[in-house]
Structure 1
Amino acid sequence: MPATAPATPAVPARPDRTAGPARSWTTAWTAAPQLPSEGFTPNWSREGFWRQTLRQPVRLTAGGGRVRVRLSHAYGTSPLRIEGATVARAAAAPAVEPGSTRRLTFGGAAHAAIPARGELVSDAVDLATAAGDTLSVTLHFEAATGPATFHAQAYTTSHRGEGDLLDDVDGAGFDAASASWYLLTAVETDAGRADGIALFGDSLTDGFGSTPGADRRWGDALARRTGRPVLNAGIGGNLLLNDSAWYGERGLNRLARDVLAHPGTDTLVVLLGLNDIGFSETADQPTYRPAPVLGTAELVAGHGALVRQARRAGLRVVGATLLPFAGSDHWGARAARTGRELNAWIRCSGTYDAVADLHRALAGPADPDRLHPAYDSGDHLHPNDAGYEVMAEAVAAVL
């Protein structure tokens, strides 16, 4: 969808922060929802689920004594029935820790239906957790779900098995695996924290190039360094100003849902725009959904609109400069010029409350437009684990 002058969507009311008389809800893990799509393998989003059970591990960045989960059917066209659900402390996947399984309810009922394009929040259950713990959320579907809203690139493994496996502790019944998350978009605890950091971006935030299953994204590293809750709202391939069937709704339109609607945050870090630049540079490559050619002015206006949305919701906003990307498939004369101009604006305009200069932190010694060889995952665009640690260090210093 072509970019237009960036409109500022209405910001929804902040969600209920009460979890009882004493503690408020804190978002401890998130994944941004995407349209069911082909092209990610193995991918169950288009076929959905029927008479099956799905078990998904998530790593928390805040603990507490109670837990609840959020499920999204944002891209569904008919109601989706959850026959049953549990949450447990994870063991060696897909097993869970014996004695830790808790049945989830929804408005007091063991099953529930999510309306088309709707969301479902479970009731709270008592389960002691700490930052760094991995929980397994297990969902059973008896009726056919139809296509399932999902998060394509999880860099961790979800498991599926036939029948009702809610009480399967050792995981023996789960015989299929996928590197995506399905329907699950948030886990919240009653940590009572309001100092969460939301990371908003594309594959660099999503974790492309990090070691799968090891929680080595820069958001994971930032949570370890700061001890604060971190919400990862990255989507691989996402653009600031353009929608994509594969890579999600444009950043300007999804910020309210994917960040502002989650409780417990006070800071937003924005690292977005590289695909708007690079996809238009590589418009002749059918792998990408070609984006219109964009200039610095359009990207600056988009960043400004994001900042205004976040500030109206009471967040401090940190701008991150685009990483070096010379030598990658996003690089070209126009992309190089636009990237330099956008970075200069992020650094010097004063629009952001603070700036994390990731370009300088990860620049190579011989060519500042190239990723440092020690931080390059191999495609000259995405960092490796060491590069993501440097990104977290740079942002932590600003925070």
Structure 2
Amino acid sequence: MFTAAWTASPQQPTEGFTPNWSREGFWRQSLRQVVRLSAGGGRVRVRLSHTYGTSPLRIAGASVARAAHGASIEPDSMRRLTFGGAHAADIPARGQVVSDPAELTLAAGESLTVTLHFDRATGPATFHAQAFTPSYRGPGDLLTAADGTAFPEVTESWYVLSAVETDAGRSDGIALLGDSITDGFGSTPGADRRWPDALAARTGRPVLNAGIGGNLLLNDSSWYGERAVHRLARDVLAHPGVDTLVVLIGLNDIGFSETDEQPTYKPAPVVTSAELIEGHRRLIRQAREAGLRRVVGATLLPFGGSDHWGERAAKTGHALNEWIRTSGEYDAVADLHRALADPQDGDRLRPAYDFGDHLHPNDAGYVVMAEAAAGVL
């Protein structure tokens, strides 16, 4: 039985937060991406997403290997991937493809490279904007290149790749649905110190990151992805081996109307706590109808002093958190607000956990989040 060991939620091509290659796409190039697995096994396969493509996408070839340093690989670990027995694959517009399994022994916590060769112009590429991990591009067919110097271009986004699965045979996976805090904003780039990484290390269970920076519970965005109530089925429920969902979402719905800094919301919709609560109920219903064993609610982190803060935002956030804590509608509650709050001011992040924008945790804060969540899983 295959188990999802790593995921990245697809987003439509956009300029996004930092320079990326999603709009220009790829042509006569190879793309090497590095992902850290939360479940090991003896065989591995990859899931490639063309969710936002408008014409077929040609994959001329693909390979996997155990990562070394940067874009380099351990040469003896390189395996060519096949798709229905063929080395190439054509993914239809808005479709996806799953590779055949490749024999490669991997342990939980190891990093895998996935290399894709594009021999035809791809057009704009479905991607995940904020990887906080380098991805690499080079000219021509570099599927078997062991030396990372063959890939001179670097970005911090993932492209086309949406999941890696291993034959771990696990059915106790944890999926974290959220926004930039789950995606890992504020963590050390390239160090795998997001809170999903910390939770996987603490629990020993497969943990899937279904966060998208800027994501909202109730509204779609060109930069920040489809609303969480719509993408849950694709980004969580469709992956094998998941039995627990942790929900940490709603802060951007509350806070975007407090700031002029958001490029796709001018003005941002103003939502009520009642609307947010109904959104959370929709997530709970979907998860239970899909047969998940547990659905855990996480309270919103303190955000006083940030660009999301204001009198209305404060009242709405407090009301949502109180409902998560006391309604009994979630199977359990991870009270991340209390775990990370400043003892001197409960509306603010404790300074030792603050990345610096009073909104996102740093590496230490993400560890505390994982510890708090692990205690109720």
TM-score category (smaller protein): over 0.9
1:270 aligns with 2:240: no
Given the superposition, is the C-alpha separation of residues 200 and 286 from structure 1 closer, same or farther in structure 2, using an over 3 Å criterion?
closer
The aligned residue for residue 351 of structure 2 is 373
Map 1:275-286 to 2 at 5 A: 275-282=252-259, 284-286=260-262
Letter in 1 for 2:187: S
The aligned residue for residue 263 of structure 2 is 287
Letter in 1 for 2:342: G
> What is the CA–CA distance in structure 1 between the aligned matches of 2:231 and 2:50, rounded to whole Å?
15
Map 1:149-188 to 2 at 5 A: 149-188=126-165
**Residues 42 and 177, structure 1, Cα contact 8 Å, conserved in 2:** no
The aligned residue for residue 6 of structure 1 is none
TM-superposed deviation, 1:285? 3.7
Map 1:299-378 to 2 at 5 A: 299-315=276-292, 316-378=294-356
The aligned residue for residue 91 of structure 2 is 114
Letter in 2 for 1:141: F
Letter in 2 for 1:154: A
The aligned residue for residue 211 of structure 1 is 188
TM-score (norm 2): 0.98
> What is the CA–CA distance in structure 2 between the aligned matches of 1:349 and 1:211, rounded to whole Å?
36
The aligned residue for residue 190 of structure 1 is 167
TM-superposed deviation, 1:170? 1.1
> What is the CA–CA distance in structure 1 between the aligned matches of 2:108 and 2:94, rounded to whole Å?
31
The aligned residue for residue 102 of structure 2 is 125
TM-superposed deviation, 1:279? 0.7
TM-superposed deviation, 1:173? 1.1
The aligned residue for residue 18 of structure 1 is none
Given the superposition, is the C-alpha separation of residues 286 and 32 from structure 1 closer, same or farther in structure 2, using an over 3 Å criterion?
closer
1:91 aligns with 2:74: no
> What is the CA–CA distance in structure 1 between the aligned matches of 2:106 and 2:261, rounded to whole Å?
46
Letter in 1 for 2:320: L
> What is the CA–CA distance in structure 2 between the aligned matches of 1:323 and 1:191, rounded to whole Å?
33
TM-superposed deviation, 1:39? 3.5
TM-superposed deviation, 1:339? 0.2
Structure 1 counterpart SS, 2:147 = coil
Structure 1's unaligned 5+ residue stretches are: 1-23
**Residues 33 and 136, structure 2, Cα contact 8 Å, conserved in 1:** yes
TM-superposed deviation, 1:98? 1.6
**Residues 328 and 380, structure 1, Cα contact 8 Å, conserved in 2:** yes
1:245 aligns with 2:190: no
The aligned residue for residue 254 of structure 1 is 231
> What is the CA–CA distance in structure 1 between the aligned matches of 2:264 and 2:84, rounded to whole Å?
43
TM-superposed deviation, 1:128? 0.2
TM-superposed deviation, 1:281? 2.2
Structure 2's unaligned 5+ residue stretches are: none
> What is the CA–CA distance in structure 1 between the aligned matches of 2:270 and 2:72, rounded to whole Å?
48
Cα shift readout 1:336-389 (whole Å, capped 9, x = no counterpart): 000000000000001100000000000001100000000000000000000000
Given the superposition, is the C-alpha separation of residues 389 and 286 from structure 1 closer, same or farther in structure 2, using an over 3 Å criterion?
closer
Cα shift readout 1:222-269 (whole Å, capped 9, x = no counterpart): 000000000000000000000000000000000000000000010000
TM-superposed deviation, 1:286? 5.0
TM-score (norm 1): 0.93
Cα shift readout 1:105-162 (whole Å, capped 9, x = no counterpart): 0000000110000001000010000000000000000000000000000000000000
The aligned residue for residue 11 of structure 1 is none
1:26 aligns with 2:3: yes
Structure 1 counterpart SS, 2:342 = coil
**Residues 222 and 264, structure 2, Cα contact 8 Å, conserved in 1:** no
**Residues 159 and 174, structure 1, Cα contact 8 Å, conserved in 2:** yes
Letter in 1 for 2:73: V
**Residues 281 and 293, structure 1, Cα contact 8 Å, conserved in 2:** no
> What is the CA–CA distance in structure 2 between the aligned matches of 1:343 and 1:119, rounded to whole Å?
37
Letter in 2 for 1:362: L
